[in-house]
Structure 1
Amino acid sequence: MDREPDLAYSDRYGRRNKEYISLGCDNLPVLKGRSPIQTYSDFMRSFRDTFKHFLGIVITEVQVGMGPAGELRYPSCPSEKLKRPSSPPELGEFQCYDKNMLASLRACAQNIGMPEWGYGGPIGVSDLTQNPEETTFFRSNGSWNSDYGKFFLEWYSGLLLLHGEILCMATTAIFLQTGVKIFAKVAGIYWHYLTCSHPSELTAGYYNTLTRDGYLPLARLFGKYKMILCCSCFDIQDAEELKGSKSSPEGFLRQLVYAARMHNLPLSGENSGTILDDKSLDQVIKSSRLSSAGAYESSLSFNYVRMDRHLFDPHNWPRFTRFVRQMSNARTFQAKLDFRGRDQYLSSCSATEEVKRSFAFY
């Protein structure tokens, strides 16, 4: 990327984001004669062959990274600036200004006889933390809902869906008959969710607005390839958001659950942070009941991620074990705990024998 900057995404200011190779390069021979999709496929194939004796027995699940942080999205907000409850919600920036994305946009605009729409992203999107109603593109009656806005957003989100489909096809072919379940992750982008235009979702590539469901196409895609949809923010409440921010993690999750149900798509939840307070753990249980109600009770699993040393603090460990017990007793879903680094941690820390015995049970 240092030698070839256009391998990286770019926003309207020319700022490059190197979290993930631009999907405008997906099928171009930019990596010593090979495309990023070919290279990633080779990596997955090597993983499959190296661990073939463990697949379906020890390694039962594989999550395929499809974008920044493994999520199928554009890097509209850099990782270090991702939403925190105490920070103003960001609109995000459209990532369509590297030469390959612009070439695709120009071709698409010319194809419909509107070449003037192919010179770049929308104007009037303003600054990252600006109120959407103060922008000409994102406000309630803004140009997001104009003919031009619909054209651009369909192109922008359509490329992301195409990127996801190419990776789904490659992954399904590589891991066919290995016995592993394949996971794909979407981002829990819930700030500005209660506005008409949902700007933060639009810049991330999710064409989800007051008049359009942007998660049904994602669920349809993953359902087509029999994958499992993974998302975070199971532990966040609307009440935690800044007053007047119009953010809604609970509203976002309800919509995603509905989309998953529409396409009989299993759902896997994750916690967004390492917070271990009772309020967050209770919210996970509440969200799981939403996701596994009625006929869907077997379609949800939960990964407890980001385990660290604080989990074993005397005031945290009893709370955590009580949480696991509640999940099991409520039969809301299969509690599947992601204990990466467990053995290394236990061998190096000063955890009590009681903690180690409890941990071994799980």
Structure 2
Amino acid sequence: MLPLDTVRASGGGLNRKKAMNVSLQALKSAGVEGVMVDVWWGLVEKERPGSTTGAATPSSWRWPPGMASKSRPIPLPGWVVEEIDRDQDLAYTDQWGRRNYEYVSLGCDTLPVLKGRSPVQCYADFMRAFRDHFAAYLGSTIVEIQVGMGPAGELRYPSYPEMNGTWRFPGIGAFQCYDKYMIGSLKAAAEAAGKPEWGHGGPSDAGNYNNWPEDTSFFRRDGGWSGPYGEFFLSWYSQLLLDHGERILDRASAIFRELPAVKISVKVAGIHWHYGTRSHAPELTAGYYNTRERDGYLPIARMLARYGAIFNFTCVEMKDYEQPGDAQCGPEKLVRQVAQAASKAGVALAGENALPRYDEGAHEQILQTAAKGGGGGGGEMMCAFTYLRMNPDLFQSDNWRRFVSFVRKMAEGREPHRCLEQVEREAEIFVTTTGLPMETAVALTRQ
């Protein structure tokens, strides 16, 4: 992944062009096959609807852009924010009335609330403009498009917002279903179920962002999540997220259908904290109806499989024992479950690391997970791995040496025919005979 500030927030254009060129050459020489960069809706269609501006022409790299609509460091387009200011129910809303401007609420996906267009129409027009602008590069330079599905580009609700200290790890988060559009959908679902009293909002006993499951009546061991109301609410909440993903993928599939060499991928968040509890509360508030009694990732995998999309999952570098024990984190178990769901649905699985890591322990965990389908034989070998992220720290001498060795071991793992110790020795020789890393690190730190 390229740095988040690769593109200037004001006026677009690349930051540190010379440093970027040096950095890319260093990565290429190390064996990296491509880079991923965010294509910000807030820059491309910044001024007014339909005013898409040209982005930088890519080089001869494999370049899978993530078409995400993220708020940091670049917010939604100004004209979208104006519409949300006029009708604040276009923003995700929690039970305390806090609004989140990071992504337009999926409750109004199909309604013409953005100057005569629906949010899904806006996303489709954005993808279509991207396709037309980069037509000459699609399938050769640009080989994968990660379609933004929600906050940080991920298919989820913004249930754990870190801005302003609202949420802190390992809090359970909060349901995001209190804008009028989501409430309208909930009321209709409750009436259809013959339980109109269930249609007034989410569970009132689900605690707040920084509670733990056992602090709440709803998420505790035998809480409301496992009862009839809990099953109704969580089914509705998670199904709306799946429906949103289906709508976006349907448009993306149609727009890029004539480009078989371009893969579409979707990112799903690796919410591993409190995974060891019965309710899996943080996953539930994010929209993944995954509990000890129910697989919440198989429906997502099957939805992606219908469109031939890649299931991109994070936290691949994490080990269970590295996490706070009292939070019952289970990143390894979670990755295995997702790998098994992907295998069962017949969808390709790709991975990312959740946090910047430069140590051999994290690299080894990634190697094992990528090669063994979730680290425990849970599925097929991962089809790709994206490393987070290119920055000055990566090019520091020891980090760079370990990274080069890691990249080459990943390549060997795909077609193993040589001793990995030999690969490591060759990486060591490569690093000692090139002067790129320090030059690159210094260049990246200069504005």
Task: Give the TM-score normalised by structure 2.
Answer: 0.72
Cα gap change, 1:332 to 1:27, in 2 (>3 Å): farther
Cα gap change, 1:160 to 1:37, in 2 (>3 Å): same
Cα distance in 2, alignment partners of residues 49 and 302 from structure 1: 27
How far apart are residue 262 of structure 1 and its match? Answer: 0.1
Kept after mapping to 2: 8 A contact 1:83/1:89: no
The DSSP-based 3-state class of the residue aligned with 2:398 is coil
Q: Which residue does 1:118 correspond to in 2? A: 199
The DSSP-based 3-state class of the residue aligned with 1:136 is coil
Cα gap change, 1:148 to 1:332, in 2 (>3 Å): farther
Kept after mapping to 2: 8 A contact 1:274/1:307: no
How far apart are residue 45 of structure 1 and its match? Answer: 0.5
Does residue 36 (structure 1) correspond to residue 124 (structure 2)? The answer is: no
Does residue 46 (structure 1) correspond to residue 155 (structure 2)? The answer is: no
Does residue 323 (structure 1) correspond to residue 399 (structure 2)? The answer is: no
Matched positions, count: 339
Q: Which residue does 1:19 correspond to in 2? A: 102
Q: Deviations over 1:205-227 (max 9, x none)?
A: 00001111000000000001100
How far apart are residue 298 of structure 1 and its match? Answer: 5.3
2:286 equivalent among 197, 204, 209? 204
The DSSP-based 3-state class of the residue aligned with 1:177 is coil
Does residue 174 (structure 1) correspond to residue 258 (structure 2)? The answer is: no
Q: How well do the aligned residues superpose, as a CA RMSD in angstroms?
A: 2.4
Cα gap change, 1:276 to 1:64, in 2 (>3 Å): same
Q: Which residue does 2:266 correspond to in 1? A: 184
Does residue 158 (structure 1) correspond to residue 239 (structure 2)? The answer is: yes
Cα distance in 2, alignment partners of residues 207 and 296 from structure 1: 21
Supply the AA of the counterpart residue of 1:164. G
2:146 equivalent among 59, 63, 68? 63
Q: Which residue does 2:328 correspond to in 1? A: 246
Q: Deviations over 1:249-276 (max 9, x none)?
A: 1111010000000011111101112221
Does residue 228 (structure 1) correspond to residue 310 (structure 2)? The answer is: yes
2:298 equivalent among 216, 237, 245? 216
Supply the AA of the counterpart residue of 1:124. D
2:212 equivalent among 116, 131, 142? 131
How far apart are residue 316 of structure 1 and its match? Answer: 1.1
Kept after mapping to 2: 8 A contact 1:235/1:284: yes
The DSSP-based 3-state class of the residue aligned with 2:397 is coil
Q: Deviations over 1:305-343 (max 9, x none)?
A: 32101111111111111111222223379xxxxxxxxxx
Cα gap change, 1:201 to 1:127, in 2 (>3 Å): same
Kept after mapping to 2: 8 A contact 1:140/1:197: yes
Q: Deviations over 1:161-207 (max 9, x none)?
A: 00000011000000002120001110100111011110000000000
Does residue 98 (structure 1) correspond to residue 185 (structure 2)? The answer is: no
Task: Give the TM-score normalised by structure 1.
Answer: 0.89
Cα gap change, 1:79 to 1:65, in 2 (>3 Å): farther
How far apart are residue 4 of structure 1 and its match? Answer: 1.7
Cα distance in 1, alignment partners of residues 338 and 350 from structure 2: 11
Kept after mapping to 1: 8 A contact 2:372/2:380: no
Cα gap change, 1:302 to 1:242, in 2 (>3 Å): same
Identity of aligned residues (%): 50
Q: Which residue does 1:349 correspond to in 2? A: none
Q: Which residue does 1:89 correspond to in 2? A: 170
Cα distance in 2, alignment partners of residues 20 and 297 from structure 1: 33
Cα gap change, 1:299 to 1:88, in 2 (>3 Å): closer
Cα distance in 1, alignment partners of residues 251 and 189 from structure 2: 26
Q: State which drifts further: 128-137 or 164-173.
A: 128-137
Gaps of 5+ in 1: 334-351
Q: Which residue does 1:342 correspond to in 2? A: none
Gaps of 5+ in 2: 1-83, 417-432, 441-447
The DSSP-based 3-state class of the residue aligned with 1:269 is strand
The DSSP-based 3-state class of the residue aligned with 1:316 is helix
Q: Which residue does 2:188 correspond to in 1? A: 107
Cα distance in 2, alignment partners of residues 222 and 113 from structure 1: 32
How far apart are residue 297 of structure 1 and its match? Answer: 5.0
Q: Deviations over 1:133-183 (max 9, x none)?
A: 231100111110111110000000000000000011000000002120001
How far apart are residue 126 of structure 1 and its match? Answer: 1.4
2:342 equivalent among 249, 260, 270? 260
Cα distance in 2, alignment partners of residues 201 and 218 from structure 1: 13
Kept after mapping to 1: 8 A contact 2:301/2:342: yes
Kept after mapping to 2: 8 A contact 1:83/1:90: no
